[in-house]
Amino acid sequence: MPPAAPAAEVKAISGWRQALLWPLGLLVRLWGMTLRFEASPEDLRNWTKKDEPVAIVLWHNRLFLSAEIVRRYRQGRPVYALVSASQDGAWLTAFFAAAGLRTVRGSSSRMGREAATALVDVLRAGHDVGITPDGPRGPCYELKPGALIVTRRTRTPILIVGGEFESAWRLRSWDRFYIPRPFSRVRMRCEQITADQLNDRDAAMALLRDRLVDLNPDRD
């Protein structure tokens, strides 16, 4: 079982509140199915790497793509995202469930010990994890060390996600969140950073940030 914060600390929603999110989750699934993903053969090989657990790393403003990434490329391998134990996290957990994603609950502030332990346990159980290294509050594109803390401890490779949108709306949020227009084209990229490339922490931090920036160009 995935780890969780102590039961007394974990907020949850149920009943009509949870039911409200299912139509939204269904809408996100159907919306994602309309998108025209493009990826090279090399990208596809990385996307479909299933011989060992991986950490899937993407910027927070590309999260709209996460459910569709799992559906198209990671079938048969559950992906767990870290969500806080707060009331906001309870809503996000319910929404992720409606969209077909799984979560572990714990504090993600500054990627503390509780959060790192939760993700380490998931990886050691043989599952994948998803990490937004500039989340949950930013600043946008500022890489925090959480992805490396977890993957260096477990000797887990990283799959870096890239998404370039042909046509998308951008919210006025801290990360300028992307919502691709239905039926639009998305250029999907995926590169692997091996466990051996993570041995030098500073070099790995620079590599991870440089590749994330390069694979996720902003058009505005």
What is the structure's pLDDT at 205? 96
Supply the pTM of this predicted model.
0.87
pLDDT tens digit string along 179-211?
Answer: 999 999 999 999 999 999 999 999 999 999 999
> Quick one: 171 exposed, middle or buried, by C-beta within 10 A (0-12, 13-18, 19+)?
exposed
Residue 67 neighbours by CB under 8 Å, 6+ apart: 28, 29, 32, 99, 100, 101
What is the Cα–Cα distance from 98 to 21, expressed in whole angstroms?
A: 7
Condensed to tens digits (0 to 9), the pLDDT of residues 63-87 reads 999 989 988 999 888 889 887 767 6
Alpha carbon distance 126, 124 (integer Å): 5
What confidence tier does 2 reach under pLDDT thresholds 50, 70, 90?
low
- Predicted confidence at residue 5, as pLDDT, reads 43
Separation of alpha carbons 131 and 65, rounded Å: 13
Secondary structure (3-state) at 179: strand
Whether pLDDT at 62 is above 60: yes
What pLDDT is attached to residue 4?
A: 47
pLDDT band at 1; cut points 50, 70, 90? low
Which token pair is 166? 């042909």
pLDDT at 13 over 90: no
